[in-house]
Amino acid sequence: MKIKEAKLSNREHIVKVTNRVMKATLSLQLMMAQVDDVEDADLTPVEQLKQQQKLIDDVMNYITDTLKLNQKEQEKLDDLEFSETVEIANNVILRVQGLSDEDIAKLTKEASQADDKSEAEQA
């Protein structure tokens, strides 16, 4: 499959959905879910910082390994905001799991509309 991430480069990254890629995808999703679950737990500030650092490393490693980024692309990834990095990771995850760019755009639009509605209800 071809995945293009304009924030990293103009080239299309060829990703073969091997067992290794699928395992890495599921591992990252599991780790992200666990971070969400633990956010409310009583962690020391040091534990929270270590957890955040691991999350950043794991997300960046997943993108680098899955898309086989070259040095220049890795440097661009290093310079992105973390929210942009997570956005790229989520896009790659959804593509690896079989969704098309159109499916992802539709899901993103629906999620944005749901967020807007929720914010309006809270106001």
Please give the model's pTM, rounded to 2 decimal places: 0.83
Angle in degrees, CA 68, 74, 75, rounded to 5? 165
Structure tokens of 27?
């591992």
Q: Give me the tens of pLDDT residue by residue for the chain, a chain 123 residues long.
A: 999 999 999 999 999 999 999 999 999 999 988 887 666 667 788 888 888 899 999 999 999 999 999 999 999 999 999 999 999 999 999 999 998 888 888 887 887 777 777 777 776
Which DSSP string do the residues of 5-63 spell out, in sequence order? -TTT-SSEEE----HHHHHHHHHHHHHHHHHHHHTTS---HHHHHHHHHHHHHHHHHHH
